[in-house]
């Protein structure tokens, strides 16, 4: 097969308004194992939405947007269901910004010879394909944005805000975009390991070629900014998809407020959808009960759900969408704190 044949079928993003899983989740709540856990998680998320003192932080890790979960996050933003986002660079830059520039992800298969893909400049994520040449355009667009900025340290949040403004100026080449909507709705996006993605390629291109002072990305500034949000919020709830740096970073802000001399409560609500388990001691699979020993997460409303996110995240979100608690909710517009 040639490249055009391999990249013939686009991934499409699921639309959580198109189906109503409430009766299914209600049934799940009276069953066992992960079905019941998912129902419990859904009811905790609904409780967060109803709690007017609660700011909601969404953490994202794993290849979620290439898998069709991007518009779901856009819908969260548009419907005031989230107040801050902490994510991996792959999600925000290589996948969301990439699609906003007009590029797409394609339905592939894991049963393929990777050497064949290599020759065609097709990159594979399990069963999904990407045109590598399009990714390079994405890298270079980041370099272009960096080249136009004043040479000084930026938090990832601030740099991503500039990416949002770039999209507003140039026009969105995809139906929806997380960066674009977040920029408009004042939802700050943090990427604590911002160089670990397409942004890294653009930024080193900038730093390598720029004479004199350069744009730098200060990851400490990100941590300080997210801590300021924790200081602003009365209560907080965290909805974590996958683990990794976004999970740890977000749990840590409770301790960070203490380091700055404040006495703030732990995260009041916590949900994690994950496939990792606790028995290798790694952070991604560590339980929310364990996090409570660190003083990070309260244990009254917490739920781990073990399942792959393409199966669990749409159900959880669509349930909350249809229950409608977001209709009364206001966005905190935390991005305005830093603008």
Site for a second copy in 232-271 (CB under 8 A): 242, 244-245, 248-249, 252, 255-256, 259-260
How far apart, in Å, do the first and last CA atoms of the chain sit?
Answer: 50
Q: How far is the CB of 202 from a second copy (least distance, A)?
A: 8
Q: How far is the CB of 221 from a second copy (least distance, A)?
A: 7
Number of residues that bind a second copy (CB under 8 A): 112
Which residue's CB is nearer to a second copy, number 134 or number 252? 252
Binding to a second copy by residue 67, rule CB under 8 A? yes
Residues whose CB falls within 8 Å of the CB of residue 167, separated by 6 or more in sequence, listed in order:
97, 100, 177, 179, 180, 183
Show the site string, 146-185: x = touches a second copy by CB under 8 A, - = not. Answer: -------x--------------------------------
Burial class (CB in 10 A: 0-12, 13-18, 19+), 261: exposed
Q: What are the φ and ψ backbone dihedral angles of 57, each rounded to 5 degrees?
A: -110, 125
Identified catalytic residue from 70, 119, 296, 330: 296
195: its two tokens: 């160089």
Residue appearing with tokens 């995260």:
267
Using the rule CB under 8 A, which residue among 38, 77, 81, 240 binds a second copy?
A: 38
Residues whose CB falls within 8 Å of the CB of residue 116, separated by 6 or more in sequence, listed in order:
none
Binding to a second copy by residue 277, rule CB under 8 A? yes
3-class DSSP state of 48: helix
Binding to a second copy by residue 144, rule CB under 8 A? no
Region of 7-15, 46-54, 161-169, 170-178 interacting with a second copy (CB under 8 A) = 7-15
Q: How far is the CB of 20 from a second copy (least distance, A)?
A: 8
Best CA proximity match to 337, nearest among 164, 155, 167 = 155
Q: Are 123 and 227 in contact (CB under 8 A)?
A: no
Using the rule CB under 8 A, which residue among 6, 28, 48, 103 binds a second copy?
A: 28
Binding to a second copy by residue 107, rule CB under 8 A? yes
Q: How far is the CB of 78 from a second copy (least distance, A)?
A: 18
Residue appearing with tokens 């709705």:
185
Using the rule CB under 8 A, which residue among 1, 8, 168, 220 binds a second copy?
A: 220
Binding to a second copy by residue 231, rule CB under 8 A? no
3-class DSSP state of 149: coil
Binding to a second copy by residue 34, rule CB under 8 A? yes
Burial class (CB in 10 A: 0-12, 13-18, 19+), 137: middle
Binding to a second copy by residue 294, rule CB under 8 A? yes
Which residues from 305-324 bind a second copy, rule CB under 8 A?
306-312, 314-315, 318
Q: How far is the CB of 49 from a second copy (least distance, A)?
A: 21
Region of 35-43, 170-178, 179-187, 322-330 interacting with a second copy (CB under 8 A) = 35-43
Q: Where are the alpha helices (DSSP H) in 60-197?
A: 70-78, 89, 98-100, 114-119, 132-148, 156-170, 178-185
**Can 119 be counted among the known catalytic residues?**
no
Binding to a second copy by residue 328, rule CB under 8 A? no
Rounded Cα distance, 39 and 35, in Å: 6
| Residue 275 CB neighbours (<10 A) | 15
Residues marked as catalytic = 296
């Amino acid at each position: 097969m040639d490249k055009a044949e391999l990249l013939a079928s686009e991934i499409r993003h699921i639309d959580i308004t198109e189906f109503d899983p409430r009766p299914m989740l209600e049934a799940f709540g009276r069953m066992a194992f992960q079905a019941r856990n998912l129902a419990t998680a859904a009811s905790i998320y609904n409780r967060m939405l109803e709690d007017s003192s609660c700011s909601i932080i969404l953490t994202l890790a794993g290849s979620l947007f290439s898998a069709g979960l991007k518009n779901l996050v856009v819908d969260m933003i548009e419907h005031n269901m989230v107040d801050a986002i902490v994510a991996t660079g792959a999600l925000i830059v290589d996948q969301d910004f990439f699609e906003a520039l007009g590029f797409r992800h394609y339905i592939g298969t894991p049963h393929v010879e990777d050497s064949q893909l290599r020759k065609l400049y097709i990159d594979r994520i399990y069963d999904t394909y990407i045109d590598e040449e399009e990714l390079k355009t994405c890298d270079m667009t980041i370099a272009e944005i960096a080249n136009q900025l004043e040479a000084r340290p930026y938090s990832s949040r601030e740099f991503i805000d500039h990416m949002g403004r770039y999209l507003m100026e140039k026009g969105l080449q995809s139906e929806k975009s997380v960066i674009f909507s977040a920029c408009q709705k004042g939802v700050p996006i943090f990427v604590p390991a911002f160089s670990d993605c397409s942004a890294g390629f653009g930024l080193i291109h900038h730093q390598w070629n720029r004479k004199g002072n350069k744009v730098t990305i200060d990851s400490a500034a990100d941590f300080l900014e997210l801590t300021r949000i924790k200081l602003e919020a009365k209560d907080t709830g965290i909805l974590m998809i996958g683990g990794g740096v976004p999970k740890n970073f977000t749990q840590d802000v409770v301790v960070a407020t203490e380091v700055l001399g404040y006495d703030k409560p732990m995260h009041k609500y916590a949900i994690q959808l994950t496939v990792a388990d606790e028995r290798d001691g790694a952070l991604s699979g560590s339980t929310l009960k364990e996090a409570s020993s660190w003083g990070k997460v309260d244990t009254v409303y917490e739920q781990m759900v073990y399942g792959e996110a393409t199966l669990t995240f749409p159900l959880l979100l669509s349930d909350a969408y249809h229950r409608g608690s977001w209709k009364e909710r206001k966005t905190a517009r935390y991005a305005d704190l830093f603008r």
